[in-house]
Amino acid sequence: MKMNFRMTRRAVTGVLASLAMLGTMGAGVASADTLQNIKDRGKIVIGIQGDNPPFGFLDSTGKNDGYDADLSKLFAEYLGVDLELVVVTNQNRIAALQTGKVDALFATLGISAERAKTLQYSIPYAEDSMPIIAPIDTSITSFADLDVMTVGVPKGSTQENTLPVVAPGANMLSFDDDSSTIQALLSGQVDAIGTTQFAIGRFEERAPGKYEEKIVLATNYKGVGTILGDREINATVNIFLEGLKADGTIGELYMKWFELPQPKFEAPVEGVSFTVE
């Protein structure tokens, strides 16, 4: 990977100092010291999912791997500090950030106006389509078809927020994570699930030719989550991601993990600012 913009520890220190000065210029903006904490301990702690391939998952040796893991490693290198990855779930990831258990979330965090009330999003770094998957012989051609079905979704996910809006009559069951949601469909506990665009591959591994994507529940961007009002960490993450897009690294990672070209990331997200105001 190119990473032409990589920074030395001395350069990072200069950036942190400059950003700290900028942070004092915004009247009424909540302040935080995430970057200073990272610098002081010489380590960044990043929350990442452990059960959502190819974004974040544990390999056969129990090591964190995936698109988000690669980005986390590059960000730690960019800052010139060590990296600690902490596995988080859909339902506890925001709490882990708010309580200081992690410094940032590279955790397939779908960008939404509601979540933006509780954390600060970076610019988008990934795009995710979330289909409804069901057995091949189940007829689902519109959201209305879901109103007579039991549909599984992961807890704390965009799918959990979206399904009651588009199919209010559906019997929604929420499961702890993506694996348990997939297992619920495989075992017949639910009629269909709202999941990620990569879940169909897991069905093909376990039950080839028996399940398919029916309709798209939602499409959204993923962003890095940081503490609300913390200008310095947000600005640093955005500079990092812009650099990865500019030098082709994001494109390389997209091909490596998704076998897709890099999205254009052009659509705005209503009610969400990617920078601390």
Candidate CATH numbers 3.40.190.10, 3.90.1860.10, 3.40.50.300, 3.90.870.10; the one for domain 9-128+220-257: 3.40.190.10
Distance CA 171, CA 58 (A): 31
Residue 19 DSSP label = H
pLDDT tens track of the chain, all 277 residues? Answer: 555 544 444 444 444 444 444 443 333 333 468 999 999 999 999 999 999 999 999 999 999 999 999 999 999 999 999 999 999 998 899 999 999 999 999 999 999 999 999 999 999 999 988 999 999 999 999 999 999 999 999 998 889 999 999 999 999 999 999 999 999 999 999 999 999 888 998 999 999 999 999 999 988 899 999 999 999 999 999 999 999 999 999 999 999 999 989 988 877 788 999 999 8
- List of E strands, 67-210: 82-88, 104-105, 120-135, 150-154, 171-175, 192-194
Secondary structure class of 234 (helix, strand, coil): helix
Which one of 3.40.190.10, 2.30.30.40, 3.40.50.1360, 3.40.50.2300 gives the CATH number of domain 129-219?
Answer: 3.40.190.10
CB 90 within 8 A of CB 177: yes
Distances (CA, A) of 262 to 169, 217, 250, 257, 258: 36, 22, 7, 11, 9
Q: What is the value of pTM for the model shown?
A: 0.75
Q: Is there a shared CATH topology between the 9-128+220-257 domain and the 129-219 domain?
A: yes
Domain boundaries, the chain: 9-128+220-257, 129-219
Task: Tally Cβ neighbours within 10 Å of residue 22.
Answer: 12
CB proximity list for 148: less than 8 A, separation 6 or greater: 169
